Amino acid sequence: MEYVYAALLLHKLQKEVNEANISSVVKASGAAVNDAQVKALVAALADVNIEEAIKAAPVAVAAAAPAAAAGEAKKEAPVDTSKSEEAAMEGLSSLFG
């Protein structure tokens, strides 16, 4: 996962997403670099428009109530998640674009 984060960071900083740069970012984080995973990620991202992939990424909205987690069968009014999803997308876009 750290390799994907490194690629996203490089993209955000408008740096080239290549093996050397991803390895540098991962090393700087203190993690050990697996060259095979770096090569696989760079190859997988070769034909990917990262900006479009970020925009198309689904956003999971976690709205689990503590009562539901405890197994209680309490019925509640439906929750309008459209505003929550919009706010989540705004937050995500502020991170990556």
Question: Does the structure show a pLDDT above 90 at 77?
Answer: no
pTM of the model: 0.57
Per-residue pLDDT for 93 more than 70? no
Note the pLDDT tens digit of each residue in 19-32.
999 999 999 999 99
Q: Tell me the per-residue pLDDT of 9-57, one tens digit each, with 9 for 90 and over.
A: 999 999 999 999 999 999 999 999 999 999 999 999 999 898 888 888 8
Domains and CATH numbers, the chain: 1-50 (1.10.10.1410), 58-97 (no CATH)
9 and 29 in contact (C-beta within 8 Å)?
Answer: no
**Alpha-helix runs per DSSP H in the chain:** 2-12, 19-28, 35-45, 50-56, 66-69, 82-96
SS3 state at 36: helix
